[in-house]
């Protein structure tokens, strides 16, 4: 039996370490830059310019200890009396554009404005010139996304000024939709029109608010940003964007798929990359890459621990031997998951009730993870199951964590909730159904990769539903309510 080549081993065991997403945020003091950064990237403390946005040099790199996957550069904008700031920003963009290393390049610019009142002025002279430079191509390909802040204040103002007589008989939802439509009309007049005049018709823009009821405006902004970065830069840069942000779980799943496709998912069935390596070693690499993409605030590295890795392995084995749900049965994924999680979280809300993960009694670390990996029915199916289950457990954990520091209790709760949901059994059934239909040879050159993607995407919860579900789930609790791993053992 031939051994794995040195090059193959380097590919397999190389650590996935994408460069940080580097962003320049431009805007006047008070426009809401710090709040925007804190919400999008899941950090609690203001990091822009040492709590004084605009005071630091544009070259200063702000990196949060709560999320070190992005680098922030801050600019105070183009206010009257600060005409030289346009040259400072232009020089910064030019220097970053000419840097060869991806981690030093600038990946996106957010140009922030507070939405003005009707009749108010959106653009200062310096901003108009900046947009002309961008439109002419002088600033290169780095995407500029216009961010119109404090959208909630526009909605509130419009709702206060609505004619009560015209609202007779309308439901609350209808009134909100009516106000939103009026807001869109006003935005076109006072914001979008002036932008198109100086930046062209296709200037990407997003109106946002960091208030609780406007979470979907933030997901839309990061989705626009990721799309622009992918279009104007490289796929790797788009992946960096998805990893850094903490508001759009769908982009996490998309990034996880992109990383897996490029590195080795297809090799699970069609190459010798994994051949003769210990199965546990292969799982170690798969697990590490998937966890890194989700970029939780995990200072204790609980998601990388042996205990959590073994928990996922045991889950795969448990589902292997137990009856599985009918994969053709249609269920409402979001409602099914939130009902399960809300019930479990409510029952275990206090620190007095330790969470016991329902792994089969007497289960020990599965023998198959220590075996030498060969292309076989059982091993391929388990690799596929591991990837899918781990990704969806992390999606559940995303619902529970809200960018807070991870605890073992929260992780165990995510596993418990996922196992108790119909989703876990259906995922395994779908993989089983696929795997039994194909021979090993067919798997080697057909759609193993596509099936993994299909299963994960089918059970992913979109960003809007995530926001709604989070509102219905009780808080998990702080790190002071943590508990050891041992409670999950039988």
Confidence bin at 350 (pLDDT 50/70/90): low
Query: What is the per-residue pLDDT across 64-112, written as a single tens digit (0 to 9) for each?
Result: 999 999 999 999 888 776 668 899 999 999 999 988 888 889 999 999 9
Model confidence, pTM: 0.86
Confidence bin at 152 (pLDDT 50/70/90): very high
pLDDT exceeds 80 at position 432: no
Please tell me the distance from the alpha carbon of residue 481 to that of residue 475, in angstroms, as a whole number: 12
**Average pLDDT of the segment spanning 23-45:** 92
* pLDDT at site 164: 76
pLDDT tens, residue by residue, 228-287:
999 887 778 899 999 999 999 999 999 988 888 777 666 676 555 666 777 888 888 889
Domains of the chain: 21-244 (3.40.50.300), 264-488 (no CATH)
Lowest mean pLDDT among 63-72, 318-327, 437-446, 465-474: 437-446
The model's pLDDT over 379-417, given as tens digits with 9 standing for 90+, comes to 777 888 899 999 999 999 998 887 889 999 889 989 988
pLDDT of 440 above 60: no
Residues with Cβ within 8 Å of residue 122, at least 6 apart in sequence: 113, 116, 190, 191, 194, 195
SS (H, E, C) the chain: CCCCCHHHHHHHHCCCCCCCEEEEEECCCCCCHHHHHHHHCCCCCCCHHHHCCCCCCCCCCEEECCEEEEEEEEECCCCCCCCHHHHHHHHHHHHHHCCCCHHHCCCEEEEEEECCCCCCCCCCHHHHHHHHHHHHCCCCCCCEEEEEECHHHHHHHHHHCCCHHHHCCCCHHHHHHHHHHHHHHHHHHHHHHHHHHHHCCCCCEEECCCCHHHHHHHHHHHHHHHHHHHHHCCHHHHHHHHHHCCCCHHHHHHHHHHHHHHHCCCHHHHCCCCCCCEHHHHHHHHHHHHHHHHCCCCCCCHHHCHHHHHHHHHHHHHHHHCCCCCCCCCCCHHHHHHHHHHHHHHHCCCCCCCCCCCCCCCCCCCHHHHCECCCCHHHHHHHHHHHHHHHHHHHHHHHHHCCCCCCHHHHHHHHHHHHHCHHHHHHHHHHHHHHHHCCHHHHHHCCHHHHHHHHHHHCCCCHHHHHHHHHHCCCCCCHHHCCCHHHHCC
In this structure, the dihedral spanned by the alpha carbons of residues 188, 193, 199 and 205, taken in order and rounded to 10 degrees, is: -10
User: Which pLDDT does position 441 carry in this prediction?
Assistant: 45
Q: What is the pLDDT of residue 15?
A: 57
> Tell me: the pLDDT tens digits for 453-487?
888 888 888 777 777 777 777 767 666 678 888 75
Q: Which residue has the higher pLDDT, 54 or 33?
A: 33
Give the whole-number percent of the chain exceeding pLDDT 90: 32
Q: Specify the pLDDT at position 17.
A: 67
More confident residue, 160 or 246: 246
């Amino acid at each position: 039996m031939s051994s794995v080549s040195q090059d193959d081993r380097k590919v397999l065991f190389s650590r996935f370490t994408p460069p940080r997403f580097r962003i320049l945020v431009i805007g006047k003091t008070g426009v809401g830059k710090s709040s925007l950064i804190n919400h999008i990237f899941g950090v609690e403390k203001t990091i822009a310019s040492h709590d004084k946005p605009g005071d630091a040099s544009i070259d200063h790199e702000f990196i949060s200890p709560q999320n070190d996957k992005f680098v922030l550069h801050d600019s105070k904008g183009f206010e009257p009396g600060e005409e030289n700031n346009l040259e400072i920003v232009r020089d910064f963009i030019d220097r970053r554009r000419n840097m060869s290393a991806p981690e030093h390049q600038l990946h996106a610019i957010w140009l922030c404005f507070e939405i003005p009142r009707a009749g108010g002025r959106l653009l200062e002279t310096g901003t108009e010139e900046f947009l002309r430079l961008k439109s002419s191509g002088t600033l290169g390909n780095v995407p500029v996304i216009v961010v119109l802040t404090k959208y909630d204040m526009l909605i509130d103002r419009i709702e206060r000024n609505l004619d009560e007589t015209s609202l007779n008989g309308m439901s609350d939802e209808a009134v909100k939709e009516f106000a939103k439509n009026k807001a869109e009309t006003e935005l076109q007049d006072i914001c979008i029109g002036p932008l198109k005049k100086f930046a062209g018709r296709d200037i990407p823009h997003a109106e946002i608010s960091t208030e609780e009821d406007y979470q979907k405006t933030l997901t839309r902004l990061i989705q626009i940003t990721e799309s622009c970065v992918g279009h104007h830069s490289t796929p790797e840069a788009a992946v960096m964007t998805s990893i850094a942000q903490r508001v759009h779980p769908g982009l996490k799943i998309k990034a996880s798929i992109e990383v897996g496709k490029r590195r080795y998912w297809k090799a699970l069935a069609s190459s010798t990359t994994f051949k003769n390596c210990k199965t546990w070693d292969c799982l170690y690499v798969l697990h590490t890459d998937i966890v890194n993409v989700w970029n939780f605030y995990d200072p204790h590295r609980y998601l990388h621990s042996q205990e959590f890795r073994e928990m996922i392995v045991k889950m795969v084995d448990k589902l292997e031997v137990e009856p599985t749900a009918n994969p053709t049965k249609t269920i409402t994924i979001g409602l099914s998951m939130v009902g399960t999680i809300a019930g479990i979280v409510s029952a275990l809300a206090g620190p007095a009730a330790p969470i016991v993960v329902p792994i089969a009694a007497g289960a020990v670390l599965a023998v198959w993870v220590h075996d030498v990996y060969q292309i076989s029915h059982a091993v391929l199916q388990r690799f596929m199951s591991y990837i899918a289950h781990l990704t969806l457990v992390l999606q559940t954990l995303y619902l529970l964590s809200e960018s807070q520091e991870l605890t073992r209790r929260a992780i165990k709760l995510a596993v418990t909730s996922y196992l108790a949901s119909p989703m876990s059994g259906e995922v395994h059934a779908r993989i089983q159904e696929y795997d039994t239909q194909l021979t090993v040879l067919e798997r080697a050159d057909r759609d193993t990769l596509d099936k993994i993607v299909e299963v994960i995407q089918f059970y992913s919860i979109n960003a809007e539903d995530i926001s709604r579900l989070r509102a219905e789930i009780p808080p998990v609790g702080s790190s002071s309510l943590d508990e050891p791993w041992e409670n999950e053992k039988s």
